[in-house]
Structure 1
């Protein structure tokens, strides 16, 4: 690539090979005394091996970062996940094929890809990295070392999984969604109890499988939104083409809404709505005979193409941004009403987790100031009034925000908003702390390097690890 033509944010798509452990950070501002714990973030961190470049940002090798806040100040660590996918690449000195959207002379199925670079969760005292295959990686929360790759026995017939399990805070249950390509092909929903016992809730047959990155759960229902971006089941485990290229967009088909009774596993309803493409569900709850589902909806899947590394060059846009959208699923009249929420476009939407599975008012998101540009601001929106407050800073590109409540029983949205921000002029990243109620800056903890753009993040309080 010609350095003179590189976009100013290209450092965010550049490999970072240095791993560090418990490095003290310089802090500008004051870290709130009540913010004690560790912020984890995961995403692609390396894009070239042996002269070969991945074909897509989502094929970058999983890189985990952490920033810990406490009485000692702030420290950071980062480390590559030692997946079999990454070890194979290092051994062969090449990028394995069969990933999300990469070609190579070394061919293997996407099903064997345990490059868990999409999401990170903390449940039952386990820190777990997830990708879009039926495998995940358990991580040591203190050292970020890879413990082992987990392969769920009940998913041996599945070719893909949602990297976004849903956790019911009231019952302690975990819900997972997987795509199976045989016996029969369709969607499989499993439930794991707080004690770790897993059962199959249901299997929903389907002749074509939708790209299902996330889903929703309410106290009564599990809701799948199948957009018209689908693939033939058996092709998804083939090594003949990259995983993404099996899917085809057909807006004329519209979207299917599948509603499952979470108590019995019965398919309650199959309804239709307009064509939409959603990577991330935001929240869902029951309202009498209606179900409310909020998600970040794109008009089509072009966001995935915009993140391709064409001929080794970093993505240069145009980057579409989704609109937070509300689906009102009316089970009595068998219809779905679909309308945008009153807030600016943005991704990585998050709410005050205390309002999970019940009505919320406040929505946080990362989005662009100008259409087609990369994410360059964080917003707090009141979805009932449409009023929003934004934080931004020159030459800074924030990642996914995390909301941390200040107290267990305080007002909605009162606490802190955290994000990893890349300052392209300083060529360094920093952990940003905002007062979530006012979006005013409290502190920056400066990392010793520029982290590549990441995906999802998580905050684990110190008391949750003891």
Structure 2
């Protein structure tokens, strides 16, 4: 389900650019590469996201997987396939009808019998890509929405349903831990609980570590969470489910600032937990990183934070088509979590350089769950805009931000993926990110150290996407 981009433009006006153009999936075609791709960049970039913008909200789009294959001679092939889910298959066979309630688009009552017979819950795995022991999965936030996929053909191998003992919904961002296992957070509605669990055996088995009561009877919607090597960190912010609207999906989330914001810290071994109230409210989609700071006996967790949930409403398609829209402000916020208090620090990024915006964060994966220095995010240096239109590198130690230099001006910029280059420095590597101009789009290969463009792949028409993963040639890539 996430973030940023469809309506494009600048001070001179707005219109829908190439990010919202629906088109047939490319079928492994060789595409033009301008510049020089590093010789060591061999493998495949897989990206998930909407292929059909049906419904009323960006998060309603039906899943399409894209794959870019980089070979040793510097060439690149692009392919894509619509996910073989129940939701997608029904939509295509019925010529445009939806089978399940999606994020903001309910089905008519007359279609409920068909929906219930198919499971009653969407399996539209349109959000992210997870790689476990050389198996690849497309994921979303319902327990029905995980599919094992063939990383070469992008066909669905099997519907991966590991049980609902962790709740009916879960974050779309399970985090890898030891021995190929993952940790995630699920939500049970009756009784209301947050369930921290391990995913084992290639997403086939769940082991619940802890079951936590919410602060009150209302449950927070959690898109992501943080994890150190020993702890899971859940932020119970005031974006809560409205059960009176849940069945219709029409605005089933509400902002309840009077409730406050709480951090739950869960020991991944014992399941013991603590809850601490924050001094201020905030909302976030994504966690940059989290680690144990043993020198001061604190947990550090960095997130891309908003003051409230206006960002969710701003991603409704009618709002994104509104020429008066301007994307809400966000920043990199640091939480220092002690035994009995949470201290908020930030912004860590330069608000002036980024247009007061940070989202879709990426780091060198070798620095996950440990102290780090650099984070790469979307930015909005050219406002007003309804989409992220720049890419930023932030030094979280110096609180210094650099905007990447590219040959073209992009009106929509997607999620960056960091691919390590093998050097000793944290920023030795490249970033892969899709940028849309007003007429076409490119996959950019950017030097993570110098913040400059190395090469760009001229894609066939492709829509905007959400999250992805890099598969080296040794683990399922080309």
Q: Who is 2:126 aligned against?
A: 117
The match for 2:264 among 258, 261, 273 is 258
Contact 1:252 1:275 in 2 (8 A): no
Structure 1 CA distance, aligned partners of 2:310 and 2:472? 37
Q: Who is 1:386 aligned against?
A: 399
TM-score, length-normalised on structure 1?
0.89
The match for 1:187 among 186, 194, 206 is 194
Structure 1 CA distance, aligned partners of 2:135 and 2:123? 17
Q: Classify 1:195/1:123 alpha carbon distance in 2 versus 1 (closer, same or farther; 3 Å).
A: closer
Tell me the SS of whatever aligns to 1:86: helix
Higher strand residue share:
1
Aligned-pair Cα RMSD in Å: 2.4
The answer to whether residue 67 in structure 2 is matched with residue 66 in structure 1 is yes
Q: Who is 1:370 aligned against?
A: 382
The match for 1:421 among 421, 432, 435 is 435
The answer to whether residue 447 in structure 2 is matched with residue 435 in structure 1 is yes
Contact 1:406 1:415 in 2 (8 A): yes
C-alpha deviation, 1:384, in angstroms: 1.7
- Consecutive unaligned residues of structure 2, counting only runs of 5 or more, are 1-11
Tell me the SS of whatever aligns to 1:273: coil
The answer to whether residue 46 in structure 2 is matched with residue 40 in structure 1 is yes
C-alpha deviation, 1:303, in angstroms: 0.8
Contact 1:399 1:453 in 2 (8 A): yes
Structure 2 CA distance, aligned partners of 1:276 and 1:284? 17
Q: How does 1:84-99 map to 2 (within 5 A)?
A: 84-93=86-95, 94-99=97-102
C-alpha deviation, 1:315, in angstroms: 6.1
Contact 1:376 1:398 in 2 (8 A): yes
Structure 1 CA distance, aligned partners of 2:360 and 2:211? 29
Contact 1:176 1:191 in 2 (8 A): yes
Q: How does 1:280-429 map to 2 (within 5 A)?
A: 280-288=286-294, 289-310=297-318, 314=321, 317-331=325-339, 334-343=340-349, 344=354, 345-373=357-385, 374-391=387-404, 392=406, 393-407=408-422, 410-424=424-438, 427-429=439-441
Number of residue pairs the alignment of both structures matches: 443
Return 257-266 or 316-325, whichever deviates more: 316-325
Structure 2 CA distance, aligned partners of 1:162 and 1:36? 30
Tell me the SS of whatever aligns to 2:168: strand
The match for 1:220 among 230, 237, 244 is 230
C-alpha deviation, 1:195, in angstroms: 7.1
Cα deviation code 1:31-56 (max 9, x no counterpart): 110000001111111024xxxxx111
Cα deviation code 1:125-171 (max 9, x no counterpart): 11111111113111110011122221112x25722110000112x55
C-alpha deviation, 1:215, in angstroms: 0.5
Contact 1:253 1:275 in 2 (8 A): no
C-alpha deviation, 1:371, in angstroms: 4.5
C-alpha deviation, 1:71, in angstroms: 2.3
Q: Who is 1:229 aligned against?
A: 239
Q: Who is 2:20 aligned against?
A: 13
